[in-house]
Amino acid sequence: MDPKEIIEQLQLLTQQFVASLQNQSTEQAIRDLQAAYLSKKGKVGELQTSLGQVEPSQRKEVGQAFNKAKQTIVQSVTEAIDGLVKRAEEAYLNAHFDVTLPGRAPAQGHMHPLSIVMYDIVDVFTSMGFDVAQGPEIETDEYNFAKLNFPDDHPARDMQDTLFIEEGKTLLRTHMSPVQIRSMLERPLPVQVVAPGAVFRRDDDPTHSPMFFQIEGLLVDKGIHFGHLKGVLNTFLYQIFGEDVQTRFRPSFFPFTEPSVEVDIQCIYCKGKGCRLCSQTGWIEILGAGMVDPNVLEGVGIDSEMYSGFAFGLGVDRVAMLKYEGITSIKLFYENDPRFLERFRR
């Protein structure tokens, strides 16, 4: 067979193949078409059988023409399949994504309302020179009660429903006052600290939670008197609730302070007229405080003739419930419902 004729036929077959490729719409159809040309019985395959009849001196040229034709076919197949995949992806994207829709901002976290209030309160005290102190949530009976002047059989222990780990030995701290003891034992005098943290009691109702947060404050130095306590607490209350808030100091009892007081603010909702929130009294209790009992000072090795101090403790949850109107249950702070928490983004 004339080599020229073979080469011309090959070119024709290649052109035919490339033209038919345009009409194929599936990968299988493309593969079938490829087989119809390149398999042994395919159009190119059959033509190749004529290679044996070509003069040996011309076989090289004809052989190269076959290789080139096969390469062209294989390459067009790859391109056609790539094109199919690309078109399928585009069709999927067009059907599933509307690029004209406005974007969705990624969700951003923010501080929990109790953390916000806690930081605000701590800021007020650090601006008055208080240092931040910490202690463990699992405490010893010694630090939670004994060193705070609660004798073993003292009825004051019943004031706080304790969650004991080992009765009489270890417990979940019921208040932040053990940090007073730790601070006086660990720090040089004068001691001036605030201790924020979680405390635990067997309490459970709309205004009492089994876990809640307190901030304790302590100042021990020479010549500290009740006037200092009043000045510091009034400054704190004015900064948190506003300069015009009325405050009231009532005599009270805590085993570790003498004298002891409870501090109220005039109800910020009814301004003292009496409402549901203040149980018609016009006042809301905010914190407990007093002058550190000399027994407590002596118990940690501080000379109570030379040094005196004051301490106070407040419930962070209570302050947060007052600052943010309409929080009817303390539980809302602990349920982590994003619809509630969203209100406190700032």
Residues engaged in binding ligand FA5 (CB under 6 A): 160, 175, 177, 201, 203, 208-209, 212, 214, 216, 254, 257, 285, 287-290, 311-315, 317-318, 330
State how beta strands 191-200 and 131-132 pair: parallel
* Shortest distance (Å) from residue 200 CB to ligand FA5: 9
* Shortest distance (Å) from residue 290 CB to ligand FA5: 5
Task: Enumerate residues 6+ apart whose C-beta is below 8 A from 173.
Answer: 135, 136, 137, 138, 139, 144, 197, 199, 200
Kindly tell me which of 237 and 330 has the beta carbon lying closer to ligand FA5.
330
Locate the DSSP E strands across the chain. 131-132, 138-140, 163-166, 170-172, 191-200, 211-221, 247-254, 257-266, 283-292, 308-315
* Shortest distance (Å) from residue 219 CB to ligand FA5: 11
* Shortest distance (Å) from residue 254 CB to ligand FA5: 4
State how beta strands 163-166 and 247-254 pair: unpaired
Task: Enumerate residues 6+ apart whose C-beta is below 8 A from 73.
Answer: 14, 17, 34, 37, 38, 44
Tell me the residue nearest to ligand FA5 as measured from the CB: 315
Kindly tell me which of 24 and 160 has the beta carbon lying closer to ligand FA5.
160
Residue 174: name the closest of 187, 160, 191 by CA.
160
* Shortest distance (Å) from residue 181 CB to ligand FA5: 11
Kindly tell me which of 17 and 150 has the beta carbon lying closer to ligand FA5.
150
Kindly tell me which of 236 and 312 has the beta carbon lying closer to ligand FA5.
312
* Shortest distance (Å) from residue 238 CB to ligand FA5: 19
Kindly tell me which of 147 and 318 has the beta carbon lying closer to ligand FA5.
318
In one-letter notation, the amino acid at residue 182 is R
* Shortest distance (Å) from residue 280 CB to ligand FA5: 19
d(C-alpha 83, C-alpha 77), whole Å: 10
Measuring CA to CA, how many Å separate 214 from each of 94, 174, 195, 312? 56, 10, 8, 10
Kindly tell me which of 175 and 182 has the beta carbon lying closer to ligand FA5.
175
Kindly tell me which of 196 and 315 has the beta carbon lying closer to ligand FA5.
315
